[in-house]
Each structure stands twice: as C-alpha cells, then as structure tokens.
Structure 1
Amino acid sequence: MLAVRSATVTVDTGASERTLLQGITAELSAPRTAVLGLNGSGKSTFLRLFNGLSPLTSGEVTVHGVSISEHLSAVRSRVGMLFSDPGAQLVMPTGVEDVELSLQHIKGKEARRAAALEALAERGVEHRAFDSVYNLSGGEKQLTALAAVLAVNPKVLLLDEPTTLLDLKNRLRLFDLLDTLPQQQVVSTHDLDLAATCDEAIVIHEGRLLAQGPAASVLADYQRWCATDFPTLPEPAGPGRPDGSRA
C-alpha cells in the first residue's frame, strides 16, 4: 500500500514560495489507480511523491510501510517510474545499453547483455536493441524505457501521462501490456479510456485532494466537473494556497 499523510510540497521561486500540493492524505491499495486533474493541478507532483522526486515540505509518504524520508534508497529500489517523455529517460546510445545500465547488479558483461536482451524481448523491441535510441519511434522508446524500468523488478510502477506520445496502435498495445504486469500501478493521465481501466481513481484539484473512490464513479464526477465547474474546497488551515504554476 502507498500512503500519504498531510503531504505538502512548496517550492522557492526566488521571489516567493509556491505551494504545489497542500495537506493531502490518501491511501492507495488498488492494483491500478488513476490520478486525474487539469493541467497544473499537481497530479504529476503527487505521483512523484512516491519515489522522492517531489521532496516533502511537511507530511509523510510511505511505500509498503517504508518511510521515504527515512529510507529513500530502499523505497526507490521498490518503485519504478515511466516519464511522460520516455526519450528523456533513455540516456545511453542504444536500447540494450540503457537496459544494461539498470542491471549493474549483474556481474559479468555477457550475463548483463543477455539479461538486457531478454528484458527487451519481453517488451517486443529486441529487434531495435542495437539501434540508436534517437531512431526509435515514440512507442519503441516507451517500450524500451519500460524494459529498463521493469528490469529491476520494482514492486510499484508509476506512469506519468504514458499515452501522450503514442499513436492508437501503441496506445492499445500499452493497455494490454499494463494488464499483464504484476506491479501495483499509479497512473497520472488525461486519457479517460486509460483511466477507465483502473480500479480506483483520485482527483487532484488546485493542489489538493478533491475525490477518491472506484474509478467509474470518480470518472463520472470528474467529467461532470470538467463540463461545468469544480466544487469549491474549504480554505485549508495554515498559510498559503496552491497557485496556477503547479506541475
């Protein structure tokens, strides 16, 4: 289970502080949870709480009972993340080298290469293993990045806007792939079809938790709010309100 207790994230802009998330408390235990929200709502910031990429100003985040603030390295070994632009996380010249980078715990160059090729084969992109990552399609980049993330067998998979750069064929392929993975998944998305495949959903609005529950029910509320207006939340206790600059 993933848990957030009174999580607040603020950043110093130089001229002032901006609050990206404020006072969020939630527990995520479903196999797949969608994180919904308008642009700038704070949903990506929320997602990144679970691997420490959104440093807490106050509050607590735990992954399977382990506190991020106390055991960040241990948590990161359990949590994998696929970014919205998979090309940005491919840092080696070729796909096989990028996966090998995730497999440094395997001793021996030949054994590491074999494991990397197997990981790419599991994602269906072994035929592009030795091609430049710059020559891969959007879908191939994503599958290669996912192979690198999954090569270390994380317990939790975070996905930030995973369908944004995909054509219809690769989008449907991703849906099928996610159904085969054993990891608990948390998906930040604007893709309501992807959200509908989730077990639960939450809505982040203006940096605060607006709704959480079964995906079908939350999706219906979210679509209605987008068509009309979002509920007004009570003013939070304490200084500062989230503003429009959130990620």
Structure 2
Amino acid sequence: MTMQAKHTTAAMTENARPMRVTLEGVTLRREGREVLTGLNLDLGIRRMGVVGRNGSGKSTLARVLAGLIRPTDGRARLNGADMYADRRAALRTVGILFQNPDHQIIFPTVLEEIAFGLTQLGRSSRDAERDARATLTSFHKSDWAEVAISTLSQGQKHLVCLMSIMAMAPRVLILDEPFAGLDMPTRAQLRRYLQLFPGAVIHISHDPQDLDGCETVIWLEKGRIVQQGNGPEVMASYLAEMTRLGESDDISDLTR
C-alpha cells in the first residue's frame, strides 16, 4: 500500500467515528426577530436529519453548526469545539454543501476550485493540485480538471462542490437542501456520490424523502425544536402534522 493510500485509509477510519452535536441555549436574533430560540441538544450522530417547513430556521441552524454565523446567545459545538471561535478546527471538522452551488464556487475551473480548499488546510500549491487530481480520479472525473465551471449544469456544479469538500476529508458534512430544484435522475446520482462520504452527515431538508436512512431526526418549527430522536418516529409525527396542516386553510390567515 502506498503512503497516500495509507493516509486515505487512516483518514476514512477516523472520519467513520460518530460526531457529537451540542447546542446549549442557542438563540439567534435578526432584525428584532428570533430565528432560533433556546435550542438545546446533546447527541452522538452518524446520520442526522433536520426537517421543518420553509422559514423554520433549518438553514440558519446549518450555518451556526458550521461556524459561519455566531449565535446571539448560547453555544454550538461539534465534538466539543466551537466552530465559529476556532476557524482552524472548523476547516478540518466540517464541510457544508449549500442549496445553490454558485454561492460557494469562486474559481473558474474545476481543478482550481477543488485545490483551493486543500491550500486552506496548509498544503502547498503542488500538493493541493496533486490531491485535487486524485479526488477527480476517485470520482472518475479526471477529464473535468480544466473544464470551466460556468459551462456545467446545476447538478454538475453540486458535484464539484461535493468533490471539493470531500477532498478536504472533514469529519462531518452538512447538507443544506442541496437537492432542491434538481430533477429526479440528478438527485439520485448525487445521493449515490454522497454515499462515498465516510464521515457523519447532517442533512437539512423540508422533504422527508431526502432524509430516508437518517438514524436521528430533529424537527424544527418557528426556530424551536418540536421533537428529536429516532428518525422514523420523528418523521411519522412530522408527516402527520404536515398532513393536518394541508387539510386546514391556514394559508388564508393573514395573521400568521
């Protein structure tokens, strides 16, 4: 086995360990409104889903967990580390895949985009390019190296973002509704690629189908945790409530 292969195997073994997610009174206010309110959580997870209607605070929670924004009150930690306070730990611990890949792609070619994250980890330009090419090879996309990202489809851009994140070998991958707006074949293909990720996954979605297989699910409503625990049980409660709401006429109530 080559030294690179040994490193990759060791990294995958390390990444396979569960991730501990801790929220201690996490509250976030924006423009006088509470987007998240007093969230408390302490769970060891491998595959965790976060479900809720639009505007429930799911994407905000994703950004808090990734350390991109700081809570107004409380603390959020992954494996005991505050990702906002410790940016070095954040780079090595967490990767986030957004709904719109154009919000995270910054370089013109696929190779440059993948190599950039590796340089942020401290690798030389030469090593970063080598490892970026190795990542492309592992996805059977070696011929994408010099391709202009502007020529790619939305699904292909999502894949570039995923490859960029996986090249950095984070401990946890946060998915912030990356399948929204994609057609069924593209969604299925991206799910297949996501199965290659050996670390913990936190999947944010309003679509129950996206969270199939999640061992743990958190249900958010208006910035609060309604229910947490066993995935199938929480999803059953969520679907029952969404069905009830769908049969009501709350869309016509202007006070909501």
Verify: 1:116 aligned to 2:126, yes or no: no
Of 18, 22, 29, the residue aligned with 1:10 is: 29
Q: Which has the higher helix share?
A: 2
Of 39, 44, 53, the residue aligned with 1:29 is: 44
User: Residues 8 and 20 of structure 1 are in contact (CA less than 8 Å); yes or no, is this contact kept in structure 2?
Assistant: yes
Verify: 1:211 aligned to 2:211, yes or no: no
Of 114, 120, 132, the residue aligned with 2:148 is: 132
Query: Which residue identity is paired with 1:80?
Result: G
- State the Cα distance separating 1:69 from its structure 2 match: 5.4
Of 187, 197, 200, the residue aligned with 1:184 is: 200
- State the Cα distance separating 1:179 from its structure 2 match: 2.5
Normalization by structure 1: what TM-score?
Answer: 0.85
Aligned to 1:95: 110
Deviations 1:95-123 (A, max 9, x none): 111111112122243x3322111112323
Equivalenced residues, count: 227
Verify: 1:107 aligned to 2:124, yes or no: yes
Alignment partners' CA distance in 1, 2:51 and 2:216? 11
Q: Give 1:189-208 correspondences, 5 Å limit.
A: 189-208=205-224
Alignment partners' CA distance in 1, 2:49 and 2:99? 15
RMSD: 2.0
Secondary structure of 1:67's counterpart equals coil
User: Residues 67 and 82 of structure 2 are in contact (CA less than 8 Å); yes or no, is this contact kept in structure 1?
Assistant: no
Query: Which residue identity is paired with 1:216?
Result: P
Alignment partners' CA distance in 2, 1:112 and 1:74? 19
Shift of the 25–133 alpha-carbon distance from structure 1 to 2, 3 Å rule, reads same
Tell which deviates more after alignment, 138-147 or 166-175: 166-175
Task: Give the gaps of 5 or more residues in structure 2.
Answer: 1-19, 247-254
Query: Which residue identity is paired with 1:83?
Result: F
- Percent identity, aligned pairs only, is 29
- State the Cα distance separating 1:134 from its structure 2 match: 1.0
User: Residues 50 and 205 of structure 2 are in contact (CA less than 8 Å); yes or no, is this contact kept in structure 1?
Assistant: yes
Query: Which residue identity is paired with 2:184?
Result: L
Secondary structure of 1:103's counterpart equals helix
- State the Cα distance separating 1:70 from its structure 2 match: 4.2
Normalization by structure 2: what TM-score?
Answer: 0.82
Secondary structure of 1:77's counterpart equals helix
Deviations 1:37-80 (A, max 9, x none): 11001011111111222311111111111234543432343111
User: Residues 95 and 129 of structure 1 are in contact (CA less than 8 Å); yes or no, is this contact kept in structure 2?
Assistant: yes
